[in-house]
Structure 1
């Protein structure tokens, strides 16, 4: 299926997500030194998307959010997929339940 907004985007300089037709948007988070990088991640509002969470530490982490009701263990050296959304516009916090002092972040849905 053709993207009906592509000609308008090209004329106005609006950036569109780079994905195959019908594909779900993906965003990456890295856990390094028990902290999320980036700590603030902008995501589209009203759209379901995938978070690819990679743990580069030598110990397990737990990606968790009470705001969007997710909880997932991320073993050392692995990447896990967390499906999120659709979210209304706003800020949604997440944290590493095993490292609460350093593992905090926020999704900003726009």
Structure 2
């Protein structure tokens, strides 16, 4: 039996380790948020802290909306009737304010725990 060079054995071991625990977008938690003509539902959005997750935002209203958080440095504009997502690598435990930049009265709180 031929013995592989050390560098080749290392490369194969690394490849096996990566293949054993794939990280896929399908495996992360998906939190759904609805925005509708001046409302954000739910008003308190609970997300996992220190965990990668996807925030799926649906605009079920008749006008454009913009999900925004200055604290989280995220924003996403959506046309009426559309759905989109924001993937968060991690969020520290805490409470963050979110709002609809096109409808100033629409506010919600994102709670990471």
TM-score interval w.r.t. the shorter chain?
Answer: 0.7 to 0.9
Contact 1:68 1:84 in 2 (8 A): no
Shift of 1:109: 0.6
Distance 2:39 2:57 in 1: 12
The equivalent of 2:85 in structure 1 is 81
Instruction: Pick from 25, 32, 37 the counterpart of residue 28 of structure 1.
Output: 32
Distance 2:57 2:65 in 1: 10
Correspondence for 2:104: 100
Look up the SS of the partner of 1:81 in the other structure: strand
What's the TM-score once normalised by structure 2's chain length? 0.74
How does the TM-score come out when normalised to structure 1?
A: 0.76
Counterpart of 1:107 in 2: which secondary structure? Answer: strand
Distance across 2 between alignment mates of 1:106 and 1:84: 16
Paired residue for 1:53? 57
Q: CA RMSD in A?
A: 2.0
Unaligned runs of 5+ in 2: 1-19
Q: Going by fraction, where is helix more abundant, 1 or 2? A: 2
Q: Which runs of 5+ in 1 are unaligned?
A: 2-19
Larger Rg computed on CA atoms? 2
Shift of 1:88: 1.0
